[in-house]
Amino acid sequence: MTTTARIHHGRRLRAALLGALALGGCVVFDPSLYQQGAAGITLADRCENAASIPTIQPELQRLVQVDTTALGDQYREFAACTGNDLPGNEGFFAVTMHPGETWHFHVDPVTPDSDPALYVLPVCTTLQCSTAGASDLCGPGRSEHFSFRPVTDGVHLIGIDSKVRGGAAYAVTVVRPVCGNGTIEHGEPCDDARPQAEVTCERCHKVLTRAMATEVGVANDDYVNAMVLRPAGGAPLQSFAVQGTVGGCDLDMFSFDAAEGDAITARLTPLNGAACPPGLSLSLQRSDIAVAPALTDVPAPVSEAVVTMADGCPTVTLPRAARASTWFLQVTVRPAPATEFPYALTVDARQP
């Protein structure tokens, strides 16, 4: 590739990455940080030997180019990490992580129509797979990204995989956002040390305190960045409604606190004359601190919750909370509708 060709390729790569970050729900905090040339690294074909796996260890963030074309499909069983078949070539790099940190990974396809998937593993085994530590939602030509917090200390393996056979080139962004440093970094909806007008920020989560406030425009598509529902003035969470939209490869997550014995009800209703689309779902999850060597302290589905449907619109109920906890609500629609679905989410948590 000539020098001129490399320059044009780099510009196309940066433009594609910025566009995907903006469309994929990520917070693009400072475009100038992406204007440096992205170095290439050679991914490991296998993950058993940690010494052979390249390491990426950014102070804040790092953008690299990778290519899986010369690699193979060695671990078809890692499909368990995402819940989808992954017949494409996979490669690995390593990041050293510590409990209490937040990490964000973003993979953007450079090869047209490639369909990336990514997952994180504390060790090279499917026993450590978790769909909460993976992303494979968006389809061909779209970027994948997710945030998570490790509970184990040490080297973690990051796998770049695909639902398309063969290999492809990707741009990979690795970010370690630091909450409270006054900068809204990639993967952060807000920062406690950077006040914004009409924004309540708590531990780098946006807090909705007014009924019918909106989540639109906020990257709340995983549990790390879930939007907190907390009525102003310490008012109880009773018939508290917020607005949102969901579609594409997007999902929305909200969190709230409920006491032991509370009855929890949440329902989705359409806005602006829309109808609830096929595949719309609402799930209730609970935050339980995981025990090592679990991947993260991700929220777990609440098996006791009951979901009912009316005109395609879901309502989830839990008659009695077994313990005081932080609870999560996840809004998804699969397959994605042609246009985003506008909704109201109404949440109620009170003693029966």
| CATH number of the domain to which 214 belongs | 2.60.120.380
Per-residue pLDDT of the chain (352 residues; tens, 9 = 90+): 333 333 333 434 444 343 333 333 454 333 333 334 567 899 999 999 888 999 998 877 888 999 999 999 998 888 888 888 999 999 999 999 998 888 999 999 999 989 999 999 888 887 667 777 788 888 888 889 888 888 888 999 999 999 999 999 999 999 998 889 998 887 788 888 888 877 888 888 889 898 888 877 777 888 888 899 999 998 999 999 999 999 877 789 999 999 999 999 999 999 999 999 999 999 999 876 544 444 446 787 899 999 999 999 999 999 999 988 889 999 999 877 778 999 999 999 999 8
| In-domain check, residue 83 | yes
User: What are φ and ψ of residue 262, in 5° steps?
Assistant: -65, 145
Q: Which domain holds residue 205?
A: 200-350
Picking from 158, 175, 192, the residue at the C-terminal end of a domain is 175
Predicted local distance difference test score (pLDDT) of residue 109: 92
Domain count, the chain: 2
204 and 162 both lie in a single domain: no
Task: Report yes or no on 246 lying in a domain.
Answer: yes
The predicted pLDDT at position 289 comes to 57
- 128 and 208 inside one domain: no
The tokens for 313 are 């619109």
Kindly state whether residues 150 and 273 are assigned to the same domain: no
Cα-trace Rg, the chain = 20
Asked if residue 211 and residue 152 are part of one domain, the reply reads no
Residue 267 and residue 333 in one domain: yes
Task: Examine the domain organization and report whether 71 and 136 are in the same domain.
Answer: yes
pTM of the predicted structure, to 2 decimals: 0.79
**152 and 238 co-located in one domain:** no
Q: Are residues 161 and 222 in the same domain?
A: no
pLDDT (0 to 100) of residue 292: 46
Contact 272, 253 (CB under 8 A): no
Cis peptide before 277 (omega within 30 of 0): no
User: Is 123 found in the same domain as 67?
Assistant: yes
Domain co-membership, 169 together with 204: no
Residues 25 and 160 in one domain: yes
Q: Is 237 inside any structural domain?
A: yes
